[in-house]
Amino acid sequence: MKIIRTCREMQAYSHELKLKGENIGFVPTMGALHAGHLELVKRAKSENDVVVVSIFLNATQFHNQQDFEKYPRTLEKDSSLLFDMGVDVLFLPTHEELYPDDYKYRVQELDLSQELCGKYRPGHFEGVLTVVLKLLNLTQPTRAYFGEKDFQQLKLIEGMVSSFFLPLEVIGVPTIRESSGLALSSRNERLSSEQKQMAAKISEILKFSQTSTEAKEQLEKLGFQVEYVEDKMGRRLAAVYSNDVRLIDNVSL
């Protein structure tokens, strides 16, 4: 597995692959990898000649500084998992590499990004879209893979790629869940076993409630602090807090 740490080297390597006619599959991550990330890697491997995975904990998308500081950092374990998966390139840029402008230039979307998670996390999607655009420009993928758990994010990235005429395909991959029904998330590592048991009920409530209002009431009865439950884009989407851990999920309507 080749490890690249600078933007210049990543861009040059991608350009070389393109000249050879190689298809590049790209999986951007913030680390703390779990089976959901590995499913993205599997899909990328099955559809491309070369697979590039990035690990970059992007500070600009965190509305809450404490959330950023508490986010799990497991680079050694992550690298080993990717090596075992047969990933071709691991891209490990620093903040200084990706933001030489100190985040003066940003990508902003003025509609969907203002709702749902965007309503409660000002600036979050600016950070997401900005860093994803940078990573796509550097890796120059044929296909880029994102999980459907972050459904609003997926739709915004699809919109950005279309609006800026980027020559790649965005692939959404269905949410991977534990046997309990809990959607896999790096933040799950911060949950106690009791919190995990309770969080496993989120998807069940979203799926079987008659309305979003009913789902919200049931989640609150279980003790979750509910940010939102809304039906949009053919999905029922929710964001809740279990103590100080923010969890999101969605199910198809």
124 in active site: no
Instruction: Over range 23-44, report the average pLDDT.
Output: 97
Is a pLDDT exceeding 90 seen at residue 136?
yes
Instruction: Over range 129-149, report the average pLDDT.
Output: 98
- Residue 123 gets the label, from left (phi > 0), alpha (psi -120 to 50) or beta, of left
**What are the phi and psi torsion angles at 25 (to 5°)?**
-105, 130
What number of other Cβ atoms are within 10 A of residue 28's Cβ?
25
Is a pLDDT exceeding 90 seen at residue 82?
yes
pLDDT in tens, 191-210: 999 999 999 999 999 999 99
Is a pLDDT exceeding 90 seen at residue 83?
yes
Domain 186-252: which CATH number of 3.40.50.150, 3.20.20.70, 2.40.50.100, 3.30.1300.10: 3.30.1300.10
Q: Which of 197, 213, 215 is nearest to 251 (CA)?
A: 215
Residue 137 CA to residue 98 CA, distance in Å, equals 11
2-173: CATH architecture: 3-Layer(aba) Sandwich (3.40)
Mean pLDDT for the chain overall: 97
What is the dihedral angle through the alpha carbons of 72, 250, 25, 144, rounded to the nearest 10 degrees? -100
Percentage of the chain lying above the pLDDT 90 cut: 97
User: What residue segments make up the domains of the chain, in order of their start?
Assistant: 2-173, 186-252
According to the model, what pLDDT value does residue 197 have? Answer: 95
Among candidate residues 15, 34, 37, 63, the one labeled active-site is 37
pLDDT in tens, 96-127: 999 999 999 999 999 999 999 999 999 999 99
Residue 124 CA to residue 73 CA, distance in Å, equals 20
Tokens, residue 171: 């692939």
Is a pLDDT exceeding 90 seen at residue 64?
no
